[in-house]
């Protein structure tokens, strides 16, 4: 299986999480890291399976580089393609917009026919509102480097196992 791992290579925390994903994924998968800051339309569309790293910035919004990239693919269909999304956020400083960007991305790709996998229970997080919630699950994996740094590695390892099953 081939998976495109899209994130910004210039981030601090997303990059750390991506490294754990790369170390965990195993040799049955051809994981192709792509810097979303330099990705073209064709770089993105060559895959059927995606892992997207999307931290939340600006009180519930996408960071600039994702915001600039998204229009490149807004007229595409992602029917038959599968997306797993992880995202850094800070549940104490931004309790009303915790990891909103995961929800924004999930909605964008599911509106264009994509299948979203990698949902995790909201148990163990403490916040007031999140656009990434669907009932009592997040539609991707939230990572909080400011408040729950120690949990990131085990959370990522469990999530990678989960999505590898769900990609199949």
Residue 16 Cβ vs ligand FMN, minimum distance, rounded to whole Å: 8
Closest of 97, 95, 86, 91 to residue 147, by C-alpha? 91
Helices 149-167 & 13-24 angle (0-180, nearest 10): 50
Applying CB under 6 A, does 94 fall inside the site for ligand FMN? yes
Beta bridge mates, 116: 83
Applying CB under 6 A, does 42 fall inside the site for ligand FMN? no
Number of residues counted as binding ligand FMN (CB under 6 A): 20
Applying CB under 6 A, does 11 fall inside the site for ligand FMN? yes
Do residues 108 and 139 touch, judged by C-beta distance below 8 A?
A: no
Residue 143 CB neighbours (<10 A): 26
Applying CB under 6 A, does 99 fall inside the site for ligand FMN? yes
* Comparison of 26 and 154: residue with beta carbon closer to ligand FMN: 154
Applying CB under 6 A, does 90 fall inside the site for ligand FMN? yes
Site map for ligand FMN, 50-89, x if CB under 6 A? -----xxxxxx---------------------------xx
Helix (H) or strand (E) holding 19: helix 13-24
Do residues 118 and 141 touch, judged by C-beta distance below 8 A?
A: yes
Applying CB under 6 A, does 145 fall inside the site for ligand FMN? yes
Residues that bind ligand FMN (CB under 6 A): 11-14, 55-60, 88-90, 94, 97-100, 145-146
């Amino acid at each position: 299986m081939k998976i495109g791992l899209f994130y910004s290579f210039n981030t601090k925390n997303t990059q750390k999480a991506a490294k754990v994903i790369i170390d965990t994924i195993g040799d049955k998968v051809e994981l192709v890291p792509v810097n979303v800051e330099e990705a073209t339309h064709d770089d993105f569309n060559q895959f059927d399976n995606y892992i997207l790293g999307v931290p939340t910035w600006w009180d519930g919004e996408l960071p600039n580089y994702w915001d600039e990239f998204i229009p490149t693919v807004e007229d595409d269909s992602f029917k038959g393609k599968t997306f797993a999304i992880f995202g850094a956020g800070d549940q104490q400083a931004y309790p009303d917009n915790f990891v909103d960007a995961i929800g924004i991305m999930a909605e964008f790709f599911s509106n264009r026919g994509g299948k979203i996998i990698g949902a995790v229970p909201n148990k163990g997080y403490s916040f007031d509102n999140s656009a990434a919630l669907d009932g009592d699950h997040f539609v991707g994996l939230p990572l909080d480097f400011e408040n729950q740094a120690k949990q990131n590695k085990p959370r990522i390892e469990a999530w990678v196992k989960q999505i590898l099953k769900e990609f199949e």
